[in-house]
Structure 1
């Protein structure tokens, strides 16, 4: 009998959260202050997650001693060579098989479209490595994809962006139909909603070329949270409008219109590098909680209230995510949830 798979909603019961610890390189930064900032922020996210469920962190062998000075004993450390520390993208995407057991989809990872600044020889092996440690069989895929490039509702709906899976640096020969067939095989997706692009900075040189997990998240069946840049001076103002329009004209896999919940972006518009892509959408749902980004911004409290209402019964805790966004991602980007067997 042919096995079928379904990626569950992030709100499904989880067994643990997987992360990686930043090794020497781009994300860690240069100089003692930058390195301490990166390590402290990754560790703060790990400890926030550990309030709700077990956390395992993959650490490069050269970093194990220093990692333990940042990570408490409640965090499990495992060793493997790393290029970077974006576990959402380099780790497996966990799915349920038709018998309720868990599998790990091992996508092809090529440095977010073979970007000239990226290294990925070691990271390309982390998907199968983590699946092995999790003691789940691997579902191999030839699709170049990252976990940050997809969102699902666990009922057959998947979100993607045209600039990621159809990127010439990732899958130059594939069409939407090709990608949708692979999503159906690996994720159980029967209905894919394609967003035209991601946020502005995420489409610049050091971005992912438009990951969906910074612009939209499915909080519950038929409910989508959308990043809402409210200032017309920011180029993401137009992108937010485009994304809302896509959802207003689409339905989920069960044919229901979306209830769109706008989540205001932080009020700060720029940093030293230009327009920021700060977003509260890039949060992680865990057992009994939500680990959310904060930015020392007036809209932090607004976002906490919206997330608390979107995920009733879950405690929302925040971590200052500015050091993550300065390095190219957020809390969702550095974490990967492993669901429990059904």
Structure 2
């Protein structure tokens, strides 16, 4: 699986449709539609976007999306493309592959339906021309993060969740990470953010907590207010990461992404974070929370980490529904032209003694 900063052909998304996540009233529904569209329109300034739209939502989608965005129809239950869509990989022959994880509504949540969503990964695989690669592991794209050199971050409370994979062991999960992603090193984080364990949460998706900025360097959500329960969580995660090494044997470096100042909303302690961002060709689409100082500081950190332009989108309507900008998007990596493969392989062999790929 290429890292998220590798060249991309496009970003896939799914447009909100009527259902539990959208909202109970017209203003709430419009808020969600506008937020998803704002992300799509921002991404389209950097690279192509394909939006999967339920037939019932075509009119709402076309009113909000720029003409540059490709719209394709498919029945949906929900619209978190990172989780219902495939995870793209590149084969040894340079072919595009699409891992179709088994999806069961984030651990068979009582509020979730997934009969249609479980087919979206296969649909996207076919539309993208990728080789369809099914997996029996119940997993979601937001529950993994890779460095492109064989390291993957997982969370014990997700892949080992008895409502997802009741018979799984770490060894079995690690084997499946190797089979599907060619990950040779798994770093197991103990848990995710506090709010993610409420009834509509994912029970610990890693993309709300930490992500690789480059091999050996982790961007980590950081809560410095001791009154917030995530104050202890981020330190527990840091303790594990500090003891870990990656696939190349390196100890990890850290870039902290300080949390916004807001601690609570009407439902309790917030999970607002800047770790849940999308890297695109030449840019980063970052979560914003209506806090100029905090949003600006995070944008500066992300710009320095990736050396790319940062566009900040108000993500509060997305976070209120259970995720962030990374959660509603899925990048499709570019595949190398066939003639380039021997050059890439030769360069990698020559570079095996260093800490980077050529």
Query: Could you say whether these structures have the same fold, taking a TM-score greater than 0.5 normalized by the shorter chain as the test?
Result: yes
The answer to whether 1:251 aligns with 2:237 is no
1:169 aligns with 2:169: no
- The correspondence for 1:281, drawn from 251, 275, 280, is 275
Where 1:280 maps in the other structure, the secondary structure is coil
Q: Which runs of no fewer than 5 residues in structure 2 stay unpaired?
A: 337-358
- On the 8 A contact 2:221/2:275 being kept in 1, the answer is yes
Among 288, 299, 303, the residue aligned to 1:304? 299
Give the corresponding residue for 1:155: 149
Map Cα deviations across residues 266-324 of structure 1 (whole Å, 9 max, x no partner).
11000000000001000000000000000012311110111011101x10001000000
Answer whether contact 1:223 1:261 (CA < 8 A) is retained.
yes
Instruction: Determine if contact 2:220/2:275 at 8 Å carries over to the other structure.
Output: yes
What's the counterpart of residue 348 of structure 2? none
Distance in 2, matches of 1:186 and 1:171, equals 17
Residue 212 (structure 2) pairs with residue 218 (structure 1):
yes
Contact preservation (8 Å) 1:247, 1:260: no
Give the Cα separation in 1 of the matches to 2:70 and 2:22.
Answer: 21
1:181 aligns with 2:175: yes
Asked whether the equivalents of residues 88 and 335 of structure 1 are also in contact (C-alpha less than 8 Å), the reply is yes
Counterpart of 1:67 (choices 61, 65, 71) is: 61
What residue is the counterpart of 1:4 in the other structure? Answer: none
**Normalised by the size of structure 1, how large is the TM-score?**
0.97
Query: Which of the residues 303, 321, 336 maps onto 2:315?
Result: 321
SS of 2:97's equivalent?
Answer: strand
Task: Flag as ranges the 4+ runs of structure 1 deviating above 2 A.
Answer: none
1:222: how far off? 0.4
SS at match of 1:201: helix
Higher mean C-alpha deviation, range 36-45 or range 239-248 = 239-248
CA contact (8 A) 2:96 2:129 kept: no
**Any idea what the Cα deviations from partners look like across 1:13-61, whole Å, max 9, x if unmatched?**
0000000001111221111100110000000000110010000000001
**Distance of 2:311 and 2:82 partners within structure 1:** 20
Is the Cα–Cα contact under 8 Å of residues 203 and 210 in structure 1 kept in the other structure?
Answer: yes
The 5 A counterparts of 1:41-80 are 41-80=35-74
- The CA distance in 2 between the partners of 1:182 and 1:119, in whole Å, is 25
Q: Distance in 2 between matches of 1:326 and 1:76?
A: 27
Measured in 2, the distance between the counterparts of 1:225 and 1:127 equals 28
CA distance in 1, matches of 2:10, 2:236: 35
> Partner of 1:262 in structure 2?
256
SS in 1 for 2:52: strand
Q: 1:247: Cα distance to partner?
A: 1.1
The equivalences for 1:235-246 within 5 A come to 235-246=229-240
Unmatched segments (≥5 aa) in structure 1 = 1-6
Is 1:197 the counterpart of 2:184 in the alignment? Answer: no
Count of matched residue pairs: 335
Q: Deviations over 1:245-280 (max 9, x none)?
A: 111111111001111111101110000000000010
Q: Among residues 5, 23, 37, which one is paired with 1:11 in the alignment?
A: 5
Corresponding residue SS for 2:82: helix
Name the structure 1 match of 2:104: 110
What is the Cα deviation at residue 139 of structure 1? 0.8
Q: How far apart in 2 are the matches of 1:33 and 1:138?
A: 39
Q: Secondary structure, in 3 states, of the residue corresponding to 2:163?
A: coil
Aligned residues of 1:227 and 1:280 also touching (Cα < 8 A): yes
Report the equivalent of 2:26. Answer: 32
The aligned counterpart of 2:94 is: 100
Corresponding residue to 2:335 among 328, 335, 341: 341
